[in-house]
Structure 1
């Protein structure tokens, strides 16, 4: 078998794992809550509470940190973004107004930007490059 054909599978696996983790995180934190709250003035909020979104973000930091600290920036950025995009699309696609596509695009853009920034910070402050620099310039 051609060695080039075997190579994409191992490099794709971490992306699929982080995407699957993100999808599972969405299901655990947000997927079960479909109820909108009606306020006394008649307006509706929800369906998600702030604590649910914060829990999802904190959960997503685990696979993102794992990938970024190993200098796998592509995995750290695209894995969670793909997982959240698929989750938002499947969770919101029953909206009759069609506005769910705007929400899905916003989730995609927001998660792409956020994971890129967090991944860059983690990659710059951890991993082999950081340890090598610390060995060359030990703190006094």
Structure 2
């Protein structure tokens, strides 16, 4: 591995980690309140479905761009670790039940699977596009 490749991977990984943490903050980090339905007494939250959908779509875009420019084997662990650690740190600080650990495992598995599939897919598309002969 050349010095240029190492530098690109290090810089790309740091930018990807920062963008992943920024995604959590932009979509989920600011909302800590729960909603209680006055008729049923059911509690929901802290996130609304639109927040989770926006977060997932943004993370999907990051994984695709990351997989296009960087190795998927760098993208998946960086994004998974950055998002899971950020989510778990916040969840542990506000959860009184201890169930944040279960959520953290689910976030870890989901992030690992999702970022791997999307970044590998982006890399395969890039390879296919560069192999096509010019007409």
- Partners of 1:118 and 1:7 lie apart in 2 by 22
Matched residues, number: 133
SS of the aligned residue for 1:54 comes to: helix
Q: Match of 1:38?
A: 36
State which drifts further: 82-91 or 27-36.
82-91
What is the Cα deviation at residue 134 of structure 1? Answer: 1.6
Contact 2:60/2:115 (<8 A) preserved = no
SS of the aligned residue for 1:93 comes to: helix
Larger Rg: 1
SS of the aligned residue for 2:97 comes to: coil
Deviations 1:2-51 (Å, cap 9, x if unpaired)?
xx999756533322221111111111110111111112211101110111
Residues 74/53 of structure 1: CA separation in 2 closer, same or farther (3 Å cut):
same
Residues 57/7 of structure 1: CA separation in 2 closer, same or farther (3 Å cut):
same
TM (normalized to structure 2)?
A: 0.85
Q: CA RMSD in A?
A: 2.4
What is the Cα deviation at residue 78 of structure 1? Answer: 1.5
- Confirm whether residue 89 of structure 1 aligns to residue 88 of structure 2: yes
Q: Match of 2:68?
A: 69
Contact 1:89/1:101 (<8 A) preserved = yes
What is the Cα deviation at residue 64 of structure 1? Answer: 1.5
> Which of 15, 18, 22 is the equivalent residue of 2:20?
22
Deviations 1:67-109 (Å, cap 9, x if unpaired)?
2113511222122211211211121012121111111111011
Structure 1: stretches of 5+ with no match in the other structure: none
